[in-house]
Amino acid sequence: MNLPLSLTINGVRRDIVLDDPRVTLLDLLRERLDLTGTKKGCDRGQCGACTILVDGRRINSCLALAVSHDGAEITTIEGVGSGGELHPVQAAFIAHDGFQCGFCTPGQIMSGIGLIQEGQAGDDPERVRECMSGNLCRCGAYQGITEAVLEAQSDMTASKQRRSA
């Protein structure tokens, strides 16, 4: 069965012909498109390491069939930041040491970006912790992760205000 699909990945349109309907977005990215920044930690929606943005929303790419997402706009960790500059969330993760082994980090960062876009947490650390709880970190870098998301959000809000002023 040949399944044509077209995805916009990190701003680039990709026309893909899948030979297998079983391929998940995660495996498509990692095994067929050499976008290995997105990680597979559990493959069952239980760890968040595979978090990407699909049409602007953070989801677990391991539980998404590629073929069902024809036409979708996808952002992965490789598409974050621009012109060699780190995204504020990425920079804040470094500054706050929001990771150790780094394996959950792409998912954490995509989740943090998704959370900030959702606008549900505000500057409440408790809401940030709750809303970042879909991303496990076995090293235990949660304190840095929470601080990083809060700081990035506040930086992004401030710079948006500056721009609109």
Partner 1 sequence: MTVELSLTRDPAHIRHGSNIGQPMTRTDGVLKVTGKARYAADNHPPGMVYAVIATSCIARGRVTALDVAAARRHPGVIDVMTPAHKPELAEDPDAKGNPFAFRMELLQSDEVRYANQAVAVVIAETLEAATEGAALLSPRYQVEIARVGLDAGEAYAPPVVGIGNPAEVRHGDIDAGMAAAAKLTDSTYQTPAQYHNAMEPHAIVAVWDGDRLFIDTPSQGMGFAQMRIAGLFGIPPANIHINSPFLGGGFGSKGLISGPQVLGIMAAKLIGRPVKLVLRRSQMYGPVGHRPPTRQRIRIGTDESGALTVINHEARVTTSSFDDFYEPAADASHTLYASPAIRTAHEAVRVDTGTPLFMRAPGEATGSIVLESAIDEAAFACGIDPLEFRLKNYAEVEPTTGKPFSSKALRQCYAKAAERFGWAGRPLQPKQMRDENGFLVGWGVGTATFPAIMFQGNARAVIRADGKGVMETGAHDMGQGAWTALAQISADSLGLDFDQLTFRSGSSDLPDAGIAGGSGHTATVGAAIHNAGAAVIAKLAELATSDQRSPLFGAGNAGVVARAGRLHRRDDDARSEGYADILARAGLAEVDATGSGAADAAAQSQYAMHAHGAVFAEVKVDPELGQIRATRLVGAFAAGRIINPLMVQSQLYGGMIWGLSFALHEEAVMDHRSGRILNANLAEYHVPVNADVPPMDVITVDEHDPHVNPLGIKGVGEIGITGSAGAVANAVFHATGIRVRNFPIKIEEIVMGLS
Partner 2 sequence: MMNFDYVRPASVADAIAAGSEKGASYLASGTNLLDLMKGGVSRPSRLVDVTRLPGLDRIEHLADGSLRIGALVRNADLAHDAEFARNYPAVAEALLSGASAQLRNAATVGGNLMQRTRCAYFYDAGSACNRRWPGAGCDALKGENRLHAVLGWSEGCIATHPSDFCVPLVALDAIVEIEGKGGRRELPLEALHRLPGETPERETALERGDLIVALRLPSEAQGFARHARYIKVRERTSYAFAVVSAAAALRIVDGKIREARLALGGVAAKPWRAREAEQVLAGAAPDAAAYREAARAALAGAKPSGDNAFKIELAQRILVRALTLAAAGTPDRIPALPGSPFSSVAGA
Nearer to partner 2, 61 or 90 (CB): 61
- 165's contact among partner 1, partner 2, none, with CB below 5 to 8 A by partner kind, is none
Nearest CA among 89, 79, 95, 105 for reference residue 11: 79
Stretch near partner 1 under the rule CB under 8 A, chosen from 37-45, 67-75, 116-124, 155-163: 37-45
Contact code string over 11-30 relative to partner 1, x by CB under 8 A: ---------x-xx---x--x
Amino acid type, 50: C
Looking up tokens 């993760």, which residue turns up? 93
Q: Count Cβ atoms below 10 Å from residue 6 Cβ, excluding itself.
A: 11
Spatial distance between the Cα atoms of 34 and 163, rounded to a whole number of angstroms? 36
Nearest CA among 82, 68, 84, 73 for reference residue 9: 73
Q: State which of residues 9, 74, 137, 150 lies at the interface with partner 1 (CB under 8 A).
A: 137
By the criterion CB under 8 A, which residues form the site for partner 1?
Answer: 20, 22-23, 27, 30-31, 34-44, 46-47, 49, 76-78, 80-81, 86, 90-91, 93-95, 97, 99-106, 109, 125-126, 128-130, 132-146
